[in-house]
A and B are shown apart, each in its own frame.
Chain A
Amino acid sequence: MSDRNRYGTNEPAFEHFLGDLDRRLLGAKRVRELTLVEVADHLLEHRDDAAERGKRTEVAVEAALDGFGTAHEYAEFQRSALMQRFARLAIVSGAAFAVMMFGMQWIGDGPAKLWTSAAQGLLYGPGLAAWLVFVQPSRRLPSSSEVEGEDFTVGCGPRMRGLTVLMMVVFSAIGLGGLAASLGFAGQESFSPGEGLAVGACSLLLLGMCWGYLTQLQVTGPGILVGPLGGGTLVRWDQVGHLRPRTERWPWMPPFYWGRVLDVEYVDTDETLRSFTIFPDAANASRLTYMVSRRLTES
């Protein structure tokens, strides 16, 4: 796609407007793209609608732009929404991290380091929030090739999976070190037994979260193939029972995602109730959510 048709509208006036909007929006390219694609679709739809009502193309383009308002107004709205989300995430994750660190230090060394924990929370909270809001959006926009066709894959890309494996190796090493310290093995002076236990438990929790990121869901005609790194169990469409937001089970979970983490419950062949997760930041997640909810409504 040439720079003159950077936003794929094939309409110079729209390209100019979207370029102006792009320059005013906050965030990394993937964050801005979520807004730009929705606005581009709106402008093209308005133009086509006006043209169908008998307006000349130039008039229809002008009507679409006039109707939408200025790039400045829209960018202000996006800026305000992102800043609100940043503030909310920074407070929630910062407080959660400070409490966790305080608990670990309490177990290990007593409550003397209260202010250190609070400072760590103040540093960690805004850092994580800035990453999630301005750099790595929780929702990924599917490419055109991903939205076409019947069969598709839901999951993280190869780079993210590679990073996840690396993180799992690191967490395993830290967790084993922590558990060894908690059991009093020699050579683990970095942790007191209490800290070691807390570090081991946190690492196990993080390993579990990483495992979720390795899981891929392959959607085919008969159902959904669920499994890490390809292969796995085929869940037929008629086995799927419910689609539930994760917050129904764990309402205390911090709102790290813009979209919702959803659990799909199904009955296995041995009549056991099982579930798999749809993470909103996985490619095609919204498409699978739509398919599952549609099928549940129809059935």
Chain B
Amino acid sequence: MAQEAGSTDSQVLKGVLDTVVLYALARADNYGFGLLQDIREHFEDGDTVLKEQTIYPLLHRLEARGFLDSYHRPGKRGTPRKFYRITDAGRVRLSQRTAQWRRVTALLERTVFQAEPEPA
């Protein structure tokens, strides 16, 4: 049962990952692993929410849709490292998604959260 609840949490959180990635890149350009570390710091259960194999498909999908751009800069070892940068279209998408999530949160606040007692 606990495992089922954990899985549901992950499903819910996966829905917001696009927004979280755009938000993290709006603050600073980053590369795959660096971004992963940055985002994990903000999730209590980061390791289960954001798998490493999830981050690249997500980044590449956002790039293909024009929300991110990428470029190569030398990494620590001097080899080319791929950095991602949010585009203007990505910023617009971020603000749209943020507004949508605010509306969802407000709706839950007015309904479910008020009716449901806090779990002990």
Q: Is chain B found bound to chain A in the same assembly?
A: yes
In contact, A44 and B77 (Cβ under 8 angstroms): yes
**Which B residues are CB-close (under 8 A) to A116?**
none
A74 an interface residue at 8 Å Cβ cutoff? yes
CB distance from A271 to the nearest CB of B (A): 27
Nearest residue (CB) in A for B57 is A77
CB distance from B21 to the nearest CB of A (A): 16
B46 an interface residue at 8 Å Cβ cutoff? no
Q: How many A-B Cβ pairs are below 8 Å?
A: 87
Bound-state CA distance A46–B73 (Å) is 18
A85 an interface residue at 8 Å Cβ cutoff? yes
Q: Which of B33, B66, B76, B81 has the most CB of A within 10 A?
A: B33
A 244-267 to B, binary, CB cutoff 8 A, 1 in contact else 0: 010000000000001110000000
Bound-state CA distance A37–B80 (Å) is 8
Bound-state CA distance A298–B51 (Å) is 34
In contact, B51 and A260 (Cβ under 8 angstroms): no
B 60-76 to A, binary, CB cutoff 8 A, 1 in contact else 0: 11001010011111111
> With contacts A67-B51, A141-B80, A287-B71 known, what are 15 further pairs, Cβ within 8 A?
A41-B32, A41-B79, A42-B56, A45-B33, A45-B75, A46-B33, A74-B53, A77-B57, A81-B60, A84-B64, A148-B78, A245-B87, A260-B66, A286-B70, A289-B71
Nearest residue (CB) in A for B53 is A69
CB distance from B7 to the nearest CB of A (A): 17
Tell me the B19-56 residues at the A interface (CB within 8 Å). 29, 31-34, 37, 51-53, 56
Given contacts A41-B31, A77-B57, contact A290 B78 (CB under 8 A): no
Chain B residues at the A interface, C-beta cutoff of 8 Å? 29, 31-34, 37, 51-53, 56-57, 60-61, 64, 66, 69-83, 85, 87
A 278-296 to B, binary, CB cutoff 8 A, 1 in contact else 0: 0000000011011001000
In contact, A290 and B80 (Cβ under 8 angstroms): no
In contact, B73 and A290 (Cβ under 8 angstroms): yes
In contact, B69 and A289 (Cβ under 8 angstroms): yes
Nearest residue (CB) in B for A38 is B82
CB distance from A286 to the nearest CB of B (A): 3
Tell me the A117-155 residues at the B interface (CB within 8 Å). 141-144, 147-148
CB distance from B51 to the nearest CB of A (A): 7
In contact, B79 and A8 (Cβ under 8 angstroms): yes
CB distance from B86 to the nearest CB of A (A): 11
Given contacts A41-B79, A69-B51, contact A147 B73 (CB under 8 A): yes
Given contacts A41-B81, A77-B56, A148-B78, contact A142 B72 (CB under 8 A): yes
A73 an interface residue at 8 Å Cβ cutoff? yes
Nearest residue (CB) in B for A293 is B85
CB distance from B70 to the nearest CB of A (A): 7
Nearest residue (CB) in B for A35 is B56
**Which A residues are CB-close (under 8 A) to B29?**
290
Contact of A286 among B51, B60, B72, B78 (CB under 8 A): B72
Nearest residue (CB) in A for B55 is A42
Bound-state CA distance A42–B82 (Å) is 10
A20 an interface residue at 8 Å Cβ cutoff? no
Nearest residue (CB) in B for A291 is B71
Q: Which of B60, B64, B70, B75 has the most CB of A within 10 A?
A: B70
Nearest residue (CB) in A for B54 is A69
Given contacts A42-B33, A49-B33, A69-B53, contact A260 B69 (CB under 8 A): yes
11 contacts between A and B (CB under 8 A): A37-B80, A37-B82, A38-B32, A49-B37, A142-B72, A142-B80, A147-B74, A148-B74, A287-B71, A290-B83, A290-B85
A115 an interface residue at 8 Å Cβ cutoff? no
CB distance from B63 to the nearest CB of A (A): 8
A185 an interface residue at 8 Å Cβ cutoff? no
A17 an interface residue at 8 Å Cβ cutoff? no
**Which A residues are CB-close (under 8 A) to B87?**
245
